[in-house]
Structure 1
């Protein structure tokens, strides 16, 4: 029993001094540290041996005769590392040391023992427990090389082990391996038992939420274990994927949305979320008779559907004159004409406009409009404002007195002077442009004083 106590103490030392990072039970890598025992007795009779003797017995005979047959080194004497490769299989390597003091019941001089082995194991954990669980039996095969003092020999190994999972990271592993020696001359077939602490590592956790990617349904967003790694941002117990209002805490009945006024309509569907009202009124205590989402209390046209931008009123022709004020509600028009389009400007109107423009007077060699022309210009403004979408060109003309370049410049300045005056009286500058023609477009002969007077003029034309 002394050696059994030593084995138990060694296992406790392993449990006491081993450490690991937080791991998932399915992390691919596992490390084991523990103790081992070598027993040469229950491995089957030697060639020519007919009955059990002090060195060998039948296979599995006195398998648990720890006191008489097991060789145990009272220290950490086994290290192993393995990797899960899929479909319940894992592969690994193990190294062991020991000291042989007895072969069966025969006491021998201390023999050094070193073993290096490869292992392939199949786990029955899911078969035994369903999906996961604390009991994890496995069977395996392997091979290795063993040295007794300076004699080495190869072995073929059969393995039975049981892991007892203490948590999702740690397990206690109890294992027995039958090691058949290939070399009859130097080799010794034997049993090797081990007890060790296993911990797993190596999984990835991209979002750092403590749930490894292979089990995380939201691997790129930190979440909670109860939702398989997915978040519940508002903390209402409904994960974001199923929460219609993930940023506002609500109830399951409302698909995760709040109902602030308690009227049975979730805030995200309630036009009056802080005032209780029936669902027929979209959660508001006031009706919306025309169904345009503008409550009657705020609706300037409660019986006709419109837009919130127009205080609940319609503007069918889109001319910014509401239908209730639009005398031509189906034809785009102007505000000045109460929603009706302005008439097309006629040749007669343009001739009337030019009758006024030709009376505009300037002092000799001056560009400033004379005050006694203001009345004519006001008449032009009245006509232009009546046709508020029409664009006009103010043309300047001169007689032939003086240099051509001077006359061109003078005509341009006079046309510009009239344009600026019109703008100062409220005509939209975007509708006006000006151009000087100099003496190139005379209306009368420049050989007479009367003709030259007629040629010094301002005219108006339409801009297409």
Structure 2
């Protein structure tokens, strides 16, 4: 048994290497089972090598030595390109030794003699390089192989080295567990017997059958996909996505899903579309109502290009500039309010919807303005009816909101030219300010003084001077 201890120590040393991190899926394998030693290869009685060695390969009862217990242990490591390297140990008991001796008593018709050499203990330790054809035949279950290697055999009291060609077949029940069948021919160079005819270094066949387990692959996230093939090795995922997750279960892996926590559509990169309008909810301004892509998923009932939610007239088409409503024509003059400078007062389109200033209106302004009298040498009003005159003037001007007018101030000839110029400007300004207070826009009025340069009556009489102290409201062309 001392040799058996040596074998198992060597095997366990190899197994200890499996604790190191590997970068290939299941690079390690361990197998164990029963082995059979067939010494018949040194006999045969035929005319050639094949006849002698393979004439009775399955004469199990007659030729095979089998120990009815676990009698072999093997550890191997995948080294790449379908090759693996392994180390195996085996134990057996030889109670059937077959040799060719047609002169010996008890030989069979082919001259073979089966003898018991004394229940010799058999130990073997072998190193093997194996090539698997499973990938070549594209199978997930059937794994045929060829091997070559060498070993050392302890046969009774003798020991010797062998060259070991062989073949095998593994049937994988799962990705990691299978049934392993193997056979190898252990060639010892110079089959020997001692002087008594006891086998000393016979060549022989060794067959084995057992269970094989593959292991050593690293699966950090525990999703059943080894890190080597896992595109997301630190996050548990699905096999169809190379180990990457699909949190919402919509068939789109999270890394390509723009809405990874919401079940969505592939056409929308994994995002949902509640209203089915082709716009993802995350981009849909109206996610519960089907709408148009151009309007971010919102409807446009009147088709005017303004979304209903922003359209103040959702059932009547209108421009965006008017919040989706048609432009009004408040004064009914045929000029839309948007183009009408006077939307509340009717006027022709030629004057942008504003009324033309009539001769009658100008005459009326002239009468009212000239009836505003000033105190001599001052810009204060002389008569009590001036406010009524100003009211009348303002009402006329309001009818022409886009017309431009000039308020002119005038004086009589009393005083110097410089004084009269200043005084006329002050009088024009006083009238302008009074009209502004009555609602006339400042952009429609300006004030100018002409001093004594434009009299309407003679300055030689008091009555004429009084009329020259006046204002005029003139339409600007």
TM-score by length of 1: 0.54
Is residue 2:237 matched to residue 1:230? no
CA distance 1:44–1:304, shift in 2 (3 Å): farther
Q: Secondary structure at the match of 1:59?
A: helix
Give the 5 Å matches for 1:381-460. none
Q: Which runs of 5+ in 1 are unaligned?
A: 1-23, 306-464
Alpha-carbon contact 1:25-1:169 (below 8 Å) kept: no
Alpha-carbon contact 2:66-2:93 (below 8 Å) kept: yes
1 CA distance for matches of 2:283 and 2:259? 11
CA distance 1:43–1:121, shift in 2 (3 Å): farther
Alpha-carbon contact 2:181-2:210 (below 8 Å) kept: yes
1:270 equivalent in structure 2 = 284
1:36 equivalent in structure 2 = 35
Shift of 1:115: 0.3
CA distance 1:76–1:289, shift in 2 (3 Å): same
Shift of 1:278: 2.0
1:134 equivalent in structure 2 = 141
CA distance 1:292–1:262, shift in 2 (3 Å): closer
Deviation string 1:13-35 (CA, Å, 9 cap, x unpaired) is xxxxxxxxxxx994100000110
Q: Secondary structure at the match of 2:251?
A: coil
Instruction: Please report the RMSD computed on the Cα atoms of aligned residues, expressed in angstroms.
Output: 3.3
Shift of 1:241: 3.3
TM-score by length of 2: 0.53
Match of 1:155 among 162, 172, 175: 162
2:78 equivalent in structure 1 = 84
2 CA distance for matches of 1:71 and 1:235? 58
1:213 equivalent in structure 2 = 227
Shift of 1:268: 2.5
2 CA distance for matches of 1:175 and 1:230? 39
Give the 5 Å matches for 1:163-178. 163-178=170-185
Q: Which has the larger radius of gyration?
A: 2
Is residue 2:65 matched to residue 1:71? yes
Alpha-carbon contact 2:164-2:184 (below 8 Å) kept: yes
Q: Secondary structure at the match of 1:214?
A: helix
2 CA distance for matches of 1:251 and 1:37? 61
Q: Secondary structure at the match of 1:260?
A: coil
Shift of 1:207: 2.2
Shift of 1:127: 1.2
1:96 equivalent in structure 2 = 90
Alpha-carbon contact 2:168-2:183 (below 8 Å) kept: yes
Q: Secondary structure at the match of 2:240?
A: helix
Number of equivalent positions = 275
CA distance 1:66–1:233, shift in 2 (3 Å): same
Alpha-carbon contact 1:286-1:296 (below 8 Å) kept: no
Deviation string 1:189-211 (CA, Å, 9 cap, x unpaired) is 00000001001111111222221
2 CA distance for matches of 1:120 and 1:288? 81
Q: Secondary structure at the match of 1:276?
A: coil
Alpha-carbon contact 1:287-1:296 (below 8 Å) kept: no
Alpha-carbon contact 1:236-1:256 (below 8 Å) kept: yes
Shift of 1:133: 1.3
CA distance 1:280–1:108, shift in 2 (3 Å): same
1 CA distance for matches of 2:305 and 2:24? 58
Q: Which runs of 5+ in 2 are unaligned?
A: 1-22, 99-113, 193-199, 313-318, 323-477
Alpha-carbon contact 1:35-1:196 (below 8 Å) kept: yes
CA distance 1:136–1:171, shift in 2 (3 Å): same
Give the 5 Å matches for 1:347-386. none
Match of 1:113 among 99, 119, 122: 122
Alpha-carbon contact 2:301-2:308 (below 8 Å) kept: no
Alpha-carbon contact 2:94-2:116 (below 8 Å) kept: no
1 CA distance for matches of 2:229 and 2:273? 34
Alpha-carbon contact 1:259-1:265 (below 8 Å) kept: yes
Shift of 1:188: 0.8
